[in-house]
Structure 1
Amino acid sequence: MQLLAVPLASGGGGITLLLPLILIVGMIWFMSRTQRKQRERQQQTVAALRPGTKVITTSGLVGIVEETDDEYVTLEISEGVLVQVVKAAVGRVIPDEDAADESAVPVEAADEAADEAADKDPVDVPGASKTDGKVQDAPKLPPTHTEN
């Protein structure tokens, strides 16, 4: 039996071998760039920690910063309960409630909307019976299966 070497039929053999290598290098560069940006954002978050800031750790623990030092942050997770965590464990900062209140609907507008809803006719719930002005659920059917 004789083996014959057959030359490649395509003319661009060098570029076809180089293209996957270029794609792999590009993907690695893009992923490292994304990770670097995430690390920088985490460092900025940790550097901005001040007492009174409300944070969530990477494990989901919510607390208020009491004090910070070089490596650790002391969080108050409940009244009088302090926990010390590594600074890198701080996942994100929860915005202040004051800023959230400014974007919310004013109290007067919410009260007016509630008054308008109360002035409308009550809604009849099909299948519900009224007793002494209270709405009761319709009777429930027995289960359709039996256990042996």
Structure 2
Amino acid sequence: MQLLAVPMASSGSGGITLLLPLILIVGMIWFMSRTQKKQRQRQADTVAKLSPGTKVITTSGLVGIVEETDDDYVTLEISEGVLVQVVKAAVGRVIPEEDGVDDEPAAAADDHADATSQVPTPEKVDVPDAGGEKADGKVQDAPKLPPTHTEN
């Protein structure tokens, strides 16, 4: 008895199918590192632009106004006369000045008030056993449902 080894037919693209996942993984790693590099650069630019009088939020959520900057530290005034020294890397973001921002919310509130004044208010609907008022004017509790399980 003699066994013969017959080569199996292949599509010829075996090398590409093995390289495709590797190329995708390398591409994802490159893209993620590029994105992180941009974020680090933005943070470094923000910290470099800090000057006295700038309002900032730290990464821990502390809000304050920059009093002075050092090579490694920033002194923030978090309340009247209360100064805190934090590491420059702890500055999360700069709060923009609110010069023209105050007018916009008032206009938006006026638009909202106009829209709500035009909407008709629904009439009071009497629903039985919905925790309404009793005849003597006192509010009664909503009906309670029986327990769905037993306690040990």
TM-score by length of 1: 0.68
Separation of aligned partners in 2, 1:5 and 1:24: 36
Give CA deviations for 1:82-134 in whole Å, capped at 9, x if unaligned.
1111111101111222232143326xx95xx69xx6xxxx99766888xxxxx
Q: Alpha-carbon deviations, 1:25-50, whole Å to 9, x = none?
A: 11011001100110111011111211
Q: CA deviation at 1:76?
A: 1.1
Task: Name the residue aligned to 2:79.
Answer: 78
Q: Runs of 5+ in structure 1 lacking a partner?
A: 130-135
Unaligned runs of 5+ in 2: 127-131
CA RMSD in angstroms comes to 3.6
For residues 45-89 of structure 1, give each alpha carbon's deviation from its aligned partner in whole angstroms, at most 9, with x where no partner exists.
Answer: 111211111111111111111111111111111221111111111
Question: 1:10 Cα deviation (Å)?
Answer: 3.2
Residue 20 of structure 1: aligned partner = 21
Q: Distance in 2 between matches of 1:48 and 1:125?
A: 58
Q: Secondary structure at the match of 2:56?
A: strand
Letter in structure 2 aligned against 1:26: G
CA distance in 2, matches of 1:12, 1:42: 46
Q: What letter is aligned with 1:73?
A: V
Structure that is richer in strand per residue? 1
| Alignment-mate amino acid for residue 97 of structure 2 | D
Structure 1 residues 140 and 61 mapped into 2: Cα distance closer, same or farther (>3 Å)?
A: same
Q: After superposition, where does 1:79-118 map in structure 2 within 5 Å?
A: 79-105=80-106, 110=110
With normalisation by structure 2, the TM-score equals: 0.67
After superposition, residues 1-148 of structure 1 pair within 5 angstroms as: 7=8, 9-105=10-106, 110=110, 138-141=139-142
- Deviation of the 1:139 alpha carbon: 4.1
